[in-house]
Amino acid sequence: MSTESTAPRAQAALPVGRIGQRGRANKGGKGPRYARTGYLFVAPFMIGFTAMFLVPLAYAAWFSLFREQMIGGNVFVGLDNYTRAFTDPQLIAGLGRVALFFLIQVPLMMVLALFFALALDSALLRLSRTIRLAIFMPYAVPSVVAALMWGFLYGPDFGPLAQLADRIGAAAPDFLGADLMLGSIANIVTWEFTGYNMILLYAALRAIPTELYEAAAVDGAGPWRTAWSIKIPLLRPAIVLCMVFSVIGSFQLFNEPSIMRTLAPNVIVADYTPNLYAYNLAFVGQEYNYAAAVSFVLGFVIMAGSYLFMLATNRRSRS
């Protein structure tokens, strides 16, 4: 495993921080002659992207400015749907819930993923390949199946947790009740995605040149010290990337609560998360226009959240 042979791949594994600083000299097609070829290469993707992404978004932005009325059909109402959304207690409650979810679940998951990645990378571990596979395995399980499975595990009838509690004569906590539901969903999401984040962090770790560790070892740093003082600071871009994915994922929470709704319809109400709310507005209430506005508000919150997050981490790394 020489450093040279892995160098190009190593760069591929370090995603963040390379955008914007790419050297112009690095481009193969120099001069205007090849610009046309460049367009031809990106055209198929960009056409698909425009048709499946930009056009629907523009269309949604447009019809979020209308309201369907019993008499007179679609009426242009300007930003009315947005003012309604910003003061809609159901949407605000949903946003608060996913924000709380984000604050509890994501730090927990990231700490676990980081610890696992460092442990796998530390060479202190036996069975590291098997352990890596086991932790990553849930990523291959569809979130629908994960939610179904955990729903059974939480269940009071034949869930093993309730059975164990029963055996020691205690009452099992009501995992599907109003108090614990958010935590139960957080556990499902942690189960699904810790391995994925671990793999991303582990990939970034493997890309760190080993000379750095050798230098640290010469200076007498043990594996824990190396992890804390060298590996974690170098992992910052990868951690930020994982966090941004997590902001997006948490605020868009849909599949897990939507499956849990079949088990606990009174706990998971139609507006439990903003995405669930938008879905129910559109496909149950047929309020497409307002649903589009709600989705855009959610999109703004996500973008603002990701941006603020990157801004905060950038500032800290500069000072």
Partner 1 sequence: MSTTTAQRETTGASAAPARRRNRPKRSTILTIGMVAAAAYFLLPLLWLVVASTKTTGDLFSTFGLWFAGENNLFTNIANTFKADDGAFGGWLGNSLLYAVASALGGTFLAALGGYGFAKYRFRGNQAMFMLVLGAMAVPSTALAIPTYLLFSQAGLTDTPWAIILPSMASHPFGLYFMRIYADSAVPDSLIESGRIDGAGDFRIFFQVTGRLLTPALATVMLFMLVQTWNNYFLPLIMLNDPDLYPVTVGLANWQGQASSSGGASGDYIPLVVTGSLVSILPLIIAFLFLQRYWTTGLVSGSVKQ
**Residue 92 binds partner 1, judged by CB under 8 A:** no
**Residue 1 or 70 having the CB closest to partner 1:** 1
Handedness of CA 171, 172, 176, 181 (dihedral sign): positive
Q: Which of the ranges 9-17, 74-82, 88-96, 231-239 carries the binding residues for partner 1, by CB under 8 A? A: 9-17
Are the CB atoms for 264 and 258 separated by under 8 Å?
no
Are the CB atoms for 295 and 60 separated by under 8 Å?
yes
Are the CB atoms for 122 and 227 separated by under 8 Å?
yes
The residue whose two tokens read 């499902």 is 188
**Residue 8 or 89 having the CB closest to partner 1:** 8
As measured in angstroms, the least distance from the Cβ of 319 to partner 1 is: 26
**Residue 169 binds partner 1, judged by CB under 8 A:** no
**Residue 168 binds partner 1, judged by CB under 8 A:** no
Give CA separation, 173 vs 164, 258, 288, in Å. Answer: 11, 22, 39
**Residue 182 or 273 having the CB closest to partner 1:** 273
**Residue 145 or 178 having the CB closest to partner 1:** 145
Please pick, from the candidates 29, 78, 96, 183, the single residue that binds partner 1 as defined by CB under 8 A: 29
**Residue 298 binds partner 1, judged by CB under 8 A:** yes
In three-state secondary structure terms, 253 is coil
**Residue 275 binds partner 1, judged by CB under 8 A:** yes
As measured in angstroms, the least distance from the Cβ of 58 to partner 1 is: 8
**Residue 283 binds partner 1, judged by CB under 8 A:** yes
**Residue 248 or 319 having the CB closest to partner 1:** 248
**Residue 156 binds partner 1, judged by CB under 8 A:** no
Checking 306-315 for CB contacts under 8 A at 24+ apart, the result is 306/244, 306/247, 306/248, 309/240, 309/243, 309/244, 309/247, 310/240, 310/244, 313/236, 313/240, 313/243
Q: How many residues interact with partner 1 (rule CB under 8 A)?
A: 121
Are the CB atoms for 143 and 192 separated by under 8 Å?
yes
Token readout for 37 is: 């070829």
Q: Which of the ranges 87-95, 103-111, 211-219, 309-317 carries the binding residues for partner 1, by CB under 8 A? A: 211-219
In three-state secondary structure terms, 79 is coil
**Residue 240 or 302 having the CB closest to partner 1:** 302
